[in-house]
Amino acid sequence: MNETVIEKIPIAISSCLLGQEVRYDGSHKHNAYITQTLGEYFEYTAFCPEVAIGLGIPRPTIQLVQVEGQIRVRGSKDPQLDVTERLQDYARSVVPQLDGFCGYIFKRASPSCGMERVKVYRNGNPLGTDRGAYAAVIMDCLPTLPVEEEGRLMDPVLRENFIERVFVYHRWQQFKRNNFTTAGLVDFHTVHKFTLLAHDEPAYRELGRIVADVGNADLNTFADNYFQFMMQALRKPATRKTHTNVLMHVMGYVKQDLTAEDKQELLEVMDKYRLGQLPLIVPITLLKHYLRRFPDEYIRRQVYLNPHPDELMLRNTL
Ligand code: SF4
């Protein structure tokens, strides 16, 4: 039997999302899309900061509160219970363990794990929002690590954005492990050009200029700065307009080989995609068909055309 074994990508996750009964009331928040669909490609390691710092199950609920201009994590009913430093210290102890991980999926709205928009209270009244105390430290210490919340993963654009970044991060780690040379970095950049273009055209141009100078720089420092810039650009979600721009660029590599009818059909399909009448997978599939007939090595290697497994169907929704 000739079975392809897929190397799963290591991802950290809030324990309750895997179905572990670790919430304050002993319940869980199992998310089937995360465990089943993404679980085919991701290998999860679970962290529950509130259990890890010894709050126990069940435990008193905690919340973010503003006290004298500072955000603290305190017991909702018992303000004497303040776990801010314990959560932050635990997060700092987790950071080195995340070496080799390619993403983190957090539980939304948690005063510990929420990555944004967690309610902050003052004198019992909602005041605004902030990040969970544990998630904030992880994100600050690992600014390039792709992070997302389970709620936002239900949005098709945010979902594709996160998964695409996870795969970019994974390829970057492979490059650093196996081919960490100036030529390797130039190649990494080259194959991600259209991906960058789809997310952030000014960053695509700027990074092109920066990479042209790589020969004059210390590779370690250069690589860190380059990747930080790149991951920041990729956080900007691609839109129908920016994808259409990339599709036109790709078309430029085959159009001289197409008949007038084929060209017309391709342009119509791309326009229907731009107008929201077709999903992205349709023009991409048609372009790939022409690229197989009229191969071009530079385009064939563009990650943009195969950024993540087709089975995830991330480009199939309108
Ligand atoms: S949200 Fe975070 S702290 Fe709360 S139960 Fe889930 S993993 Fe634990």
Helix (H, G, I), strand (E, B) or coil at 309: coil
Determine the pLDDT at residue 250.
97
Largest CA distance in the chain: 75
The three-state (H, E, C) secondary structure of 217-264, written as one string: CCHHHHHHHHHHHHHHHHCCCCCHHHHHHHHHHHHCCCHHHCCHHHHH
**What's the 60 CA to ligand 1 centre distance in angstroms?**
13
Ligand 1 atom nearest residue 110's Cα: 1
**Tens of pLDDT, residues 141-160:** 999 999 999 999 999 999 99
Average pLDDT taken over every residue of the chain: 96
**What's the 254 CA to ligand 1 centre distance in angstroms?**
51
Q: At residue 56, what are phi and psi to the nearest 5 degrees?
A: 80, 170
Assess whether the C-beta atom of 73 lies below 6 angstroms from ligand 1: no
CA gyration radius, the chain: 22
**Tens of pLDDT, residues 58-79:** 999 999 999 999 999 999 999 9
**What's the 292 CA to ligand 1 centre distance in angstroms?**
47
216 confidence band (pLDDT: 50, 70, 90): confident
**Tens of pLDDT, residues 217-268:** 899 999 999 999 999 999 999 999 999 999 999 999 999 999 999 999 999 9
Within 8 A by CB and 6+ apart from 15, the residues are: 22, 46, 47, 48, 51
Per-residue burial over 248-261, b = 16 or more CB atoms within 10 Å of its CB, e = otherwise: ebbbebbeeebeee
* pTM of this structure: 0.95
4 confidence band (pLDDT: 50, 70, 90): low
Assess whether the C-beta atom of 112 lies below 6 angstroms from ligand 1: yes
For a mutational test of ligand 1's pocket, the pick from 20, 45, 110, 119, i.e. the residue with the most ligand atoms closer than 8 A to its C-beta, is 110
Domain map (residue ranges) of the chain: 9-154, 156-318
Q: What tokens were used for 60? A: 């008193």
Determine the pLDDT at residue 243.
98
Within 8 A by CB and 6+ apart from 36, the residues are: none
**What's the 102 CA to ligand 1 centre distance in angstroms?**
20
Assess whether the C-beta atom of 31 lies below 6 angstroms from ligand 1: no
Determine the pLDDT at residue 5.
59
Mean pLDDT for the stretch of residues 196-207: 97
Within 8 A by CB and 6+ apart from 101, the residues are: 10, 11, 12, 45, 145
